[in-house]
Amino acid sequence: MNTHKKRNILICQGSTCHQVAKENLIDAFKSKLKEYQLDEDVKVVQSVCFNKCTVGPNIIIHPDNVEYSTVTSDDIDEIIMLHLLNDKIVERLVYNQVYENSGSDKKQYRIALRNCGFIDPEVIVDYIEKNGYAALGKCLTEYTPQQVIDEIKASGLRGRGGGGFSTGLKWEITSKSEADQKYVVCNADEGDPGAFMDRSVLEGDPHSVIEAMAICGYAIGATKGIVYIRAEYPLAIKRLQIALKQAKEYGLLGRDILGTGFEFDISIKYGAGAFVCGEETALIHSMEGLRGEPTLKPPFPSVSGYLGKPTNVNNVETFANIPAIINRGSKWFASIGTEKSKGTKVFALAGKVNNVGLVEVPMGTTLREVIYDIGGGIKDGKKFKAVQTGGPSGGCLTEKHLDLPIDFDTLMAAGSMMGSGGMIIMDEDDCMVSMARFYLEFTVEESCGKCAPCRIGNKRLHEMLIKICDDKGSEEDLMLLKNLSTVVKDTSLCGLGQTSPNPILSTMENFYDEYLAHVKDHKCPAGQCKSFQRYYISEQNCIGCMVCARNCPVNAISGEKKEVHIINQETCIKCGVCMEKCKFDAIYLN
């Protein structure tokens, strides 16, 4: 029995793998390992998304770095017998074999996600073996605080939370602000629909964020750090707590770190899940126990932030890049990406695309490469229609934008934005008006209500979109929709209101014909808006069985037994129950 070799089995617990699995693979592996008396030598670890959701459930055996896909409990005996006991690969389950050598990984470059899925996030030694905390040691023993800042500035790293502000410059401004106490804040309040980049980093590599926060503290002269994280992320919180405890035990947090005299500690504050608290001033107010509302800047948090003290706020992904930059040098990082957008960006690829999941690509990679080369193209052979980048704050880009390089400035010029990294793909069956309504509904619910343009203006915009989707709109409404969107964008207090009209403006720019079809032709070209749907009964197929009439919840169907029935279009609520119940295909949509 080959029990001399210590291994970890990392089992992906991303939402897709978790749902696809017919059983609990973690428990199944643990049970089988006990049967083979390997439970002392092989550790089973609940890991984060491996970015291969389409071929899940996925596992990685570490330190062999062998990845298996579409694993079920029926495969466990074979994996144990061949791989763990005899050092032979189970070829039929190998990731590339299952994925048909799509080559999607060749387009990716992992920096922020470099350790996710490859280490046990609850074991600090695993992180240290991956050169963990070497960057902190290097900064404390070889660099002055200003030299650290200069290195980050030279790297060209820009904030990955959506704003794209120079990270090094933000650090420098905070370092020059004089105060008896300064703070380093990690923004882990990830609120975009479908986004899970920051959560995955904290679940899979929490020490990289802790190390980066300590480096930032040294650079700006802060002794305290705070991670502001959503209470809805229980696994991320648990692993962050474990990592903080381990870092303190190893002397990497607290007093006299690495014997250099530097002091830095980190605490956790929980957020209630308000989207507006992703904005740094609203986040700071929430940390202070106040209502999560933004304030007008200046003063910026770098001058007056948490408790009125200079505060540096960066998001999780931004921090995750810091140790790699220090270890490998600013020139290395600056060599990746474009002239004004350096490094890589993590995206949560979702929607009507074959390969969903997290991807990390160099800045400058085109949308076409992400959607077709990495994402595997559109599902079911449908035609690509649009991609929403930047979540609710972003905009829709079309086929004409597919060859645009992905970077901060190019996306902004095209009417969208990078945002935190959400990327939702839509096909020919999606209605752009309905999509804009969906995002405005989210924005209305998440608005803090402090300023009138956002509180009232977005509500009016949402009402107009509902009116248009309900076949009650007019061409005049389209003009009002565009004008009010511009007003809300120009006059709102914070980034939430200033970007909330982007889905409307970008879809009106690129799909104005769909808006016109809704108000002028009284139809939804994609067939998604129910108010435009009409159910009819075929005279040829209807036998007058009355099943449809008996099941209609609003009594919209009339007719005698054994006679052709009629649907009252004014009464019909388009629920589709009649079509579902009819056994003679007598009911159709038009």
Domain boundaries, the chain: 7-103, 124-334, 347-401+410-427, 432-519, 534-589
CA angle 574–580–584, rounded 5-degree value: 120
Indicate whether 337 pLDDT > 90: yes
pLDDT at position 18: 66
Q: How many CA atoms lie within 13 A of 499 on its CB side?
A: 22
pLDDT at position 556: 94
DSSP summary character for residue 391 = G
Question: Which of 144-148's residues contact partners 24+ apart within 8 Å by CB, and which partners?
Answer: 145/175, 145/218, 145/219, 145/220, 145/221, 146/175, 146/219, 148/215, 148/218, 148/219, 148/326
The 3-state DSSP composition of the chain as helix, strand, coil percent (nearest 5) reads: 45, 15, 40
The CATH class that applies to domain 347-401+410-427 reads alpha beta
Lowest mean pLDDT among 191-205, 333-347, 548-562: 191-205
- Flag whether the pTM goes above 0.85: yes
Q: What percent of the chain has pLDDT over 90?
A: 69
The pLDDT tens digits for 14-68 are 666 766 666 788 889 999 999 999 988 888 887 766 666 677 788 888 888 788 8
CA angle 412–416–420, rounded 5-degree value: 90
Name the architecture of domain 534-589: 2-Layer Sandwich (3.30)
DSSP reduced 3-state for 390: coil
Sign, CA dihedral 405-407-409-414, equals positive
pLDDT at position 98: 41
pLDDT at position 16: 65
Mean pLDDT estimate for the chain: 90
Indicate whether 269 pLDDT > 70: yes
Whether domain 432-519 has CATH 1.10.10.60: no
Indicate whether 443 pLDDT > 80: yes
For 128-188, the three-class secondary structure string (H helix, E strand, C coil) is HHCCCCHHHHHHHHHCCHHHHHHHHHHHCCECCCCCCCEHHHHHHHHHHCCCCCCEEEEEE
Residue 527 pLDDT level (bands cut at 50, 70, 90): confident
Residue 12 pLDDT level (bands cut at 50, 70, 90): confident
pLDDT at position 100: 43
Name the architecture of domain 7-103: 3-Layer(aba) Sandwich (3.40)
Higher pLDDT, 351 or 590: 351
DSSP reduced 3-state for 232: coil
In whole angstroms, how far apart are CA 446 and each of 228, 255, 350, 441, 459?
18, 40, 22, 9, 11
What's the CA gap between 421 and 160, in Å, rounded? 8
Q: Do strands 254-257 and 183-188 pair parallel, antiparallel, or not at all (unpaired)?
A: unpaired
pLDDT at position 283: 95
Q: What percent of the chain has pLDDT over 70?
A: 94
Q: How many CA atoms lie within 13 A of 40 on its CB side?
A: 5
186 contact partners, CB below 8 Å, separation of at least 6: 209, 213, 225, 226, 227, 228, 229, 313, 314, 315, 316, 319
Lowest mean pLDDT among 21-30, 155-164, 294-303, 551-560: 21-30
The pLDDT tens digits for 106-162 are 688 999 999 987 888 899 999 999 999 999 999 999 999 999 999 999 999 999 988
pLDDT at position 560: 92
Rounded mean pLDDT, 427-437: 95
What's the CA gap between 380 and 533, in Å, rounded? 24
Q: Residue 402 has which token pair? A: 């597919």
Which CATH number, 3.40.50.11540, 3.30.460.10, 1.10.640.10, 1.10.1760.20, labels domain 124-334? Answer: 3.40.50.11540
Higher pLDDT, 62 or 425: 425
pLDDT at position 102: 45
Indicate whether 239 pLDDT > 90: yes
Preceding amide of 57 cis, omega within 30: yes
Q: Which of 60-64, 105-109, 315-319, 356-360 has the highest mean pLDDT?
A: 315-319
